[in-house]
Amino acid sequence: MSAESTLILAGVLVLLTRFLGLPSEWYVYIYSALGIVIISIGIMLHLRRSERKAKRFTDEHTKEKDA
């Protein structure tokens, strides 16, 4: 499963968790765990994007030097 799909799934779980009928004390732990998952995926996606930008920047400057 891709990171984007996992992020969407975590968002849906956050939305639907309220309707599970669990004891209210459990929500603190569930929302904390889902929050950690969402933050982790967000950081991972940000790092991937930064790496792609850096690679593209490096590739463009390497082509200019070779020309």
State pLDDT tens for residues 9-59.
999 999 999 898 999 999 999 999 999 999 999 999 999 988 888 887 777
Q: Is the separation of the CB atoms in 12 and 43 below 8 Å?
A: no
Identity of residue 61: H
- Provide the token pair at 15: 């939305």
Distance CA 40, CA 48 (A): 12
pLDDT confidence tier of residue 63, bands split at 50, 70 and 90: low
pLDDT confidence tier of residue 1, bands split at 50, 70 and 90: confident
